[in-house]
Amino acid sequence: MIRTALRSLPLLFAAAALTQPVLGGQAPFQTQQQQVAPPQNDMTIAAVVNENIITLYDVKSRIQMIITTSGLENTSDMQQRLLPQVVDSLVEERLKLQEAARLKIKTSETEVRQAVDNIEARNNLRQGALRAMLASQGVDVGALYTQVEADVAWGKVVRQSMERAVTVADDEVRTVINRAKANQGKPEYWVFEISLPVATPAQEQAVHDVAERVVQQARAGSPFQAIAQQVSQSPTAALGGDLGWVVRGEMEPELDDAVTHMQPNTISDPIRTGTGYHIIQLREQRISGAVDPRMAVVTLSQVYLPSIGGRALPADKMAQYTQTIGGYTTCDQMNKMATELKTPGSGPIPAVYAGGLPEKVRSVVVDLKPGHTGVVEVGGARLMLQVCTRHDDTGLPSPEQIRSNLENEKLQNSARQKLRDLRRQALVDIRI
C-alpha cells in the first residue's frame, strides 16, 4: 500500500441547495447558474444543525446528484434507501462549514470554481461539461458549488488546525519498513471498496438491499469509483473506494477470504462483516515487493556511430569502433571516445529511471550491468551504451515515502476524529 500514489480526488460532489443560509445567516457565493428557486413544498425543514437548516430540497438535490453521477436506478425505492446516508452527509457538510466560519477561514469563489475545474480535468471532461450534464438532468448546478465549497473550506481547516500536530517517529517508519520486508514475495491485491455500515438491526435488510442493487449496477457497467464516491461510507470514498495495494491480513477476514478467490477486474457479492456490508472490486494482482528492473536508476555513457548521412562511417570503421568500444569496461573510456568522435548525442547521460528510456534503449539497459557495453541499432546509427552506475529497485519504499504517507494518514485520521467530535457536540435535529 505504501508504494501506491494517491489517485484522483472525488469524481463528483453531491448537492445541497444554495438558496438556504449556510453560515450564520450568510448564504455562500452566488453565480448565474445558481438562480434556481426550489418548489415551495420542498422548503420543509428536514434537519437542523446548530443554527442552520437542511431543507427537503437539499435532500432531494443530493439524492438526484448521487443517482445522476453514479448510474444507480432512479426509482422511489432507491431514493428512499439512500435517504439516511444523504441526510448524514448533509449534516457533516454543515458542520464543516460552521467550523470554517468559527476559525474565520474564508473560501473564495475563484477557489471553488478552480476546484470544480480540477474535478472535470481529472476525469477527462472539458471545462463546464460536468455542470452542463447536471443541468441537463434537472439537478440544481448550484448544489455542486456548495458541496465543493464545504470540501475546500474543510481542507483549510485541516491544514490550519491539525497539520502542525502531526508527527511521525523514526520507530514508526522502521515498523513500516519491516512489515514491507516481511510481506515481500506474498500476493498483493489492488482493491476498491464500497462500505455500507449497519448501525442497528432494523437497518439490516434495507442496507443489504442497497448493497445488492449497487452490485447489480456496477456489474452492469456503472463506474465502480463513481458509485463508491457517492454511496460508500468509508473514508476511502473520497478516492473512489481505492484501498491501494493490500496483502492478506490487512483487511477484515471476510474481505481477505473474498479477494483471494477473485479474478482481476471482477466485483464481489455483498460481504457481511461485523460493521456492515462491503462490496469489493479487485483491479489487479501482483507479488508484493517484487523488484522492478524498470525502476533502476542508472547513469550512462553513449557513443553514437552514424550509419547514414554526411557523417556516416564506412563499414570497416563501423566494425572497428564497434569492436573497440565493445571492449571498454569504464565510462571514462566511453566518454573519451565520445569526445574524440564528436558525434551528436555522444557522451554522458545523467541519472534516469531505466523504464523512462526509449523502448529500444530500455530493453538493453534494464539488464546491463556496470562495466558492460550494449549495442542498440537505431534509425541511421548504431548506439554503443555503457552503464556507469546502477541503483536497482529494492521493491521497498524509501523512508521518505513512508514518512510522507504516515503523515498523510495521521492527518486524515485527525480530520475524521475532528468531524466526529463536531458531530457529537452539535445540536442536530433530524425531522424526516
pLDDT digits (tens, 9 = 90+) for 157-178: 999 999 888 999 999 999 999 9
Contact 101, 24 (CB under 8 A): yes
Alpha-carbon distance of 299 to 387, in angstroms, equals: 6
| % of the chain exceeding 70 in pLDDT | 90
Q: Residue 174's pLDDT is what? A: 94
Q: Residue 40's pLDDT is what? A: 56
Q: Residue 292's pLDDT is what? A: 83
Q: Residue 37's pLDDT is what? A: 53
Domain with CATH 1.10.4030.10 in the chain: 1-178+394-432
- Concatenated DSSP letters for 18-71? SSS--BTTBPPP--GGG--PPPGGGGSEEEEETTEEEEHHHHHHHHHHHHHHH-
Alpha-carbon distance of 244 to 172, in angstroms, equals: 20
pTM: 0.64
Domain with CATH 3.10.50.40 in the chain: 185-288, 293-391
Q: Residue 204's pLDDT is what? A: 92
Q: What is the CATH number of domain 293-391?
A: 3.10.50.40
Residue with cell 503523515: 407
Of the ranges 36-50, 97-111, 301-315, 355-369, which one carries the lowest mean pLDDT score?
Answer: 36-50
Q: Residue 256's pLDDT is what? A: 94
Confidence category of residue 230, pLDDT binned at 50, 70, 90: confident
Torsion of CA 127, 131, 132, 138, to 10 degrees: 180
Question: b/e map of 186-202 (b: 16 or more CB within 10 Å)?
Answer: eebbbbbbbbbebeeee
Angle at the Cα of 33 (from 432 to 17), degrees rounded to 5?
15
More confident residue, 288 or 282: 282
Torsion of CA 84, 87, 91, 96, to 10 degrees: 100
**CATH of region 1-178+394-432, choose from 1.10.4030.10, 3.20.190.10, 3.40.50.920, 3.90.550.10:** 1.10.4030.10
Q: What helix, strand, coil percent values describe the chain, rounded to 5?
A: 50, 20, 30
More confident residue, 235 or 12: 235
| % of the chain exceeding 90 in pLDDT | 46
For residue 234, give the 3-state DSSP assignment.
coil
Contact 16, 147 (CB under 8 A): yes
Mean pLDDT of all residues in the chain? Answer: 85
Q: Residue 355's pLDDT is what? A: 86
Interval 290-302 mean pLDDT: 88
Instruction: Quick: pLDDT tens for 6-40.
Output: 222 333 333 332 223 333 333 344 433 444 455 55
Instruction: Quick: pLDDT tens for 90-137.
Output: 999 999 999 999 999 999 999 998 988 887 776 667 888 888 888 888
Q: What is the CATH number of domain 185-288?
A: 3.10.50.40
Of the ranges 46-50, 121-125, 288-292, which one carries the lowest mean pLDDT score?
Answer: 121-125
Instruction: Quick: pLDDT tens for 384-408.
Output: 999 999 998 888 888 998 898 899 8
Question: b/e map of 379-402 (b: 16 or more CB within 10 Å)?
Answer: eebbbbbbbbeeeebebbbeeeeb
Instruction: Quick: pLDDT tens for 174-183.
Output: 999 998 888 8
Element (H, E) at 205: helix 204-219
Alpha-carbon distance of 194 to 196, in angstroms, equals: 7
Torsion of CA 360, 361, 364, 368, to 10 degrees: -170
Of the ranges 150-164, 221-235, 339-353, 360-374, which one carries the lowest mean pLDDT score?
Answer: 221-235
Alpha-carbon distance of 300 to 335, in angstroms, equals: 10
